[in-house]
Amino acid sequence: MKNFIIRLKKENDNPGVARLIMDSLNVWYLNNRGIESCVPSLEAASIYSRIYDALDPDCCVVAEDAETGRLAGSCFFHPRPTHVSLGIMTVAPEYFGRKVSTKLLAYIVDVAERRNQTLRLVSSAMNLDSFSLYSKAGFAPRAMYRDVLVDVPEQGFDDSLEGAVMRDAEFDDVDEIVALELELCGVDRAKDYKFFIENKDGIWGASVLVNTGTGKIDGVMCSVRDPGCNMVGPGAVRTQEQAAALIKRELNRYKGEWSPVVLVPTDCVQLGREFYDLGGKNIETHVAQTLGNAPPRKGVIIPTFMPETA
């Protein structure tokens, strides 16, 4: 039986963590989905340490093989005022089945318990080992999502919406964005929105939808475009119609140049139909889960894998 040292990631672990992420995901998707090169390179896999070391330093736990010093697994986590979010968890293929993920999860559960906060995550509903891990730990499913891949044509999409004005998010919007997301799903992550708007990496987009009748922000939608992750989200919007317009605005940032993924809630039938009509294709399903109490969701909540902070 292998012994593992469970500790926080150090800066010199970053190449090993990138290798873990690339190898773990590529092996799983090849063996279970027949998909080759899910993560195309170590550079692509490095987005997690690169972004999270800036956004949430000292918030990645690793499992080190006590005999060899090799990294057997890693998991990022994201403390926020309202909750702790569990991010990407990966285990080196040669350590599959050795309870590495159970040990990593226990560390982060302890973090959430000491903070007296709910632990939240979005994980693949198609990976039964992953689903079993969280179910056995007491996590409860809260929402289902279909991962829709959207090819954006050169002309883009019509993102107009009567009664609304959409524009890039600004720092002065953050308080109102946080109030909206607190109302819709009980989450406060102001630091994330400030990070997107500042956009030092040049990979983020952030839009708000202002209701022309009330003058209030009725929705926010972000996106990331990077070799390691091309997605629309996170987002929180009052209606499906508003969500469709905001998602299209983010899709239009790189007309004809990208094919991002959008996690569309399965209970948002109108929203799903709209993106199917635009040629969207289902590629996977995910489930939002919580360990601890969480308020019921209202409106349309769009999660993302970068950053996984909801």
For residue range 182-234, list pLDDT tens digits in order. 999 999 999 999 999 999 999 999 999 999 999 999 999 999 999 999 999 99
**Cα–Cα distance between 33 and 12 in angstroms, integer?**
32
Whether 309 maps to a domain, the answer reads no
What are the CA-CA distances from residue 211 to residues 10, 129, 166, 216, 241 (Å)? 45, 44, 9, 6, 12
**Cα–Cα distance between 190 and 45 in angstroms, integer?**
26
The confidence score (pLDDT) of residue 112 equals: 98
pLDDT band at 151 (very low <50, low <70, confident <90, very high): very high
262 and 165 within one domain: yes
Whether 171 maps to a domain, the answer reads yes
Whether 173 maps to a domain, the answer reads yes
**Cα–Cα distance between 213 and 110 in angstroms, integer?**
46
Residue 266 has pLDDT above 70, yes or no: yes
Helix (H, G, I), strand (E, B) or coil at 39: coil
The confidence score (pLDDT) of residue 36 equals: 73
239 and 181 within one domain: yes
Among the candidates 116, 139, 160, a domain finishes at 116
The confidence score (pLDDT) of residue 71 equals: 97
Q: Is cis: bond before 234, omega within 30 of 0?
A: yes
What are the CA-CA distances from residue 61 to residues 8, 33, 86, 189, 247 (Å)? 4, 28, 11, 21, 33
277 and 221 within one domain: yes
213 and 107 within one domain: no
The confidence score (pLDDT) of residue 39 equals: 87
Helix (H, G, I), strand (E, B) or coil at 152: coil
291 and 164 within one domain: yes
Instruction: Summarize the chain as % helix, strand, coil (round to 5).
Output: 35, 30, 35
Check if the beta carbon of residue 220 is closer than 8 Å to that of residue 193.
yes
Whether 122 maps to a domain, the answer reads no
The confidence score (pLDDT) of residue 222 equals: 98
190 and 258 within one domain: yes
Average pLDDT, the chain: 95
87 and 24 within one domain: yes
pLDDT band at 74 (very low <50, low <70, confident <90, very high): very high
* DSSP secondary structure code for residue 163 in this structure: T
Question: What are the strands, taking DSSP E only, across 4-131?
Answer: 4-8, 60-65, 71-79, 83-91, 118-124
Whether 308 maps to a domain, the answer reads no
* CATH number for 59: 3.40.630.30
The confidence score (pLDDT) of residue 34 equals: 83
Q: What's the pTM?
A: 0.95
Domain that holds residue 53: 4-116
- Considering only CA atoms, give the Rg of the chain: 19
Q: What's the mean pLDDT in 229-255? A: 98
294 and 155 within one domain: yes
Q: What's the mean pLDDT in 102-127? A: 97
Among the candidates 97, 116, 135, a domain finishes at 116
Residue 1 has pLDDT above 60, yes or no: no
Q: What's the mean pLDDT in 265-279? A: 97
Q: What's the mean pLDDT in 5-19? A: 97
The confidence score (pLDDT) of residue 303 equals: 97
Q: Is cis: bond before 260, omega within 30 of 0?
A: no
80 and 161 within one domain: no
The confidence score (pLDDT) of residue 28 equals: 85
Whether 250 maps to a domain, the answer reads yes
- pLDDT more than 90, % of the chain: 91
Domain count, the chain: 2
Question: What are the strands, taking DSSP E only, across 80-180?
Answer: 83-91, 118-124, 140-149, 164-168
